[in-house]
Amino acid sequence: MRLRSILLRIGSAVVTLVFVLVFNFFLFRAVGDPKTDLARNPHLTLAGQQAVIHERGLDRSLWVQFERYVTQTLRGDLGSSFANGEPVSHVLMQALPNTLILIGIGTVLASVIGPWMGMVAGWNRGRKRDTFLTQGSVVLYSMPEFWMGMLLISLFAVAWPILPTGLHVTPGSTVTGVGHLVDVARHAVLPITTVTLSLLAQYTVNMRSSVIDVLHEDYILTARAIGLSPLQVRRRHVVPNALLPVVTVIGLQFGLVLGGVITIEAVFSWPGLGQLTLTAIDNKDYPVLQGLFLLTSAMVILFNLLTDLLYSRLDPRIRD
């Protein structure tokens, strides 16, 4: 892939991020007035309200506020929370690892299992395996994330109580070291399974369709004609080419995964970005919401950029 093409893609991502930065400032001032919401705080006196408003620069003109917002953001300062006064960056960094556990492990599992199931279904098109895997994927795809999470809780935490119903760790637990990791892992099983199943279906169906399309290509007929075994045809020609559209779907799905994880974390009371979003909405905590919007947008832009570069690497036809 040419250096110029890579720089153009990176430049496009940077321009998109700048747009998000500007849009982020005006969005949360269009839906409400931070000064009014601060004035409703029953724990602040009138003098305290005025002091907080002045400290945060909310009594200045919109342009001055915007200039201050951009300057602080470029320095890595996202302001402080209206709810508890903690730096927004600190609040986000506390919640981010928990969300990355769900998204990271769930996406990896779905990206391995889903395409494999799709490959099996496409290779056995019209047979019982294909029917079972395809219909099962359609059922999973039709389930909302929160419903799937509640169903898993009903099965594995209530009817068959082998896993916790929610939270990050056992309340009151003082276990450290390996015991703590085991406790967190047990609590993470159900939410990670929910993320995996919510992604699995689409990856399976996309891979199945892609395999069927590839099987009709001329080079597959040629590979069979020169004497390659079915296993060699599948490994060398079908799977590598069928994976290309699925890679794009996985990359573009990242934004939807971030949106879906809000409901999953709410169902399991998992202390990640999704749960933090709901809390910030309830408290009208605009700095935290601004930070969340900027962070998640940056993650989506970065992931899409990496997907674009990876796709160009995998498919020689579009490198130039």
pLDDT at 155: 93
pLDDT tens across 71-102, in order?
A: 888 888 888 887 788 899 999 999 999 998 99
pLDDT at 190: 93
Total number of residues shown for the chain: 320
**CA distances (Å), 268 to each of 40, 146, 190, 275, in order?**
31, 9, 8, 9
Is the pTM for the entire model greater than 0.95? Answer: no
Domain boundaries, the chain: 89-284
For residue 221, what pLDDT band results from cuts at 50, 70 and 90?
confident
pLDDT tens across 137-195, in order?
A: 889 888 888 899 999 999 998 899 888 888 888 887 777 788 888 888 999 999 999 99
Cα–Cα dist 113/19, whole Å: 36
Choose among 108, 128, 269, 127: nearest CA to 203.
108
pLDDT at 172: 76
pLDDT at 204: 92
Average pLDDT over the chain, rounded to an integer:
84
Choose among 278, 290, 296, 273: nearest CA to 56.
290
Name the token pair of 140. 């999973």
CATH number of 89-284: 1.10.3720.10
Cα–Cα dist 207/248, whole Å: 11
Query: What's the maximum distance between 2 C-alpha atoms anywhere in the chain?
Result: 86
What is the number of helices (H) and of strands (E) in the chain? 13, 0
pLDDT tens across 238-269, in order?
A: 888 888 888 888 877 776 677 778 889 889 98
Q: Which residue has the tokens 């705080």?
A: 41
Average of per-residue pLDDT across 22-35:
75
**CA distances (Å), 63 to each of 11, 121, 181, in order?**
26, 57, 48
pLDDT at 8: 86
pLDDT at 43: 59
DSSP string, 44-104: S-HHHHHHHHHHTTTTS-HHHHHHHHHHHHHTT---B-TTT--BHHHHHHHHHHHHHHHHH
Q: Which long-range contacts (CB under 8 A, 24 or more apart) does 255-259 make?
A: 255/300, 255/304, 257/103, 257/106, 257/107, 257/195, 257/199, 258/99, 258/103, 258/296, 258/299, 258/300
**Residues 114, 204 contacting (CB under 8 angstroms):** yes
Choose among 80, 97, 69, 82: nearest CA to 35.
82
pLDDT tens across 106-120, in order?
A: 989 999 999 999 999
Residue 50 has pLDDT above 80, yes or no: no
pLDDT at 152: 93
**Residues 271, 168 contacting (CB under 8 angstroms):** yes
Cα–Cα dist 207/204, whole Å: 5
Give SS3 for 126: coil
pLDDT at 115: 92
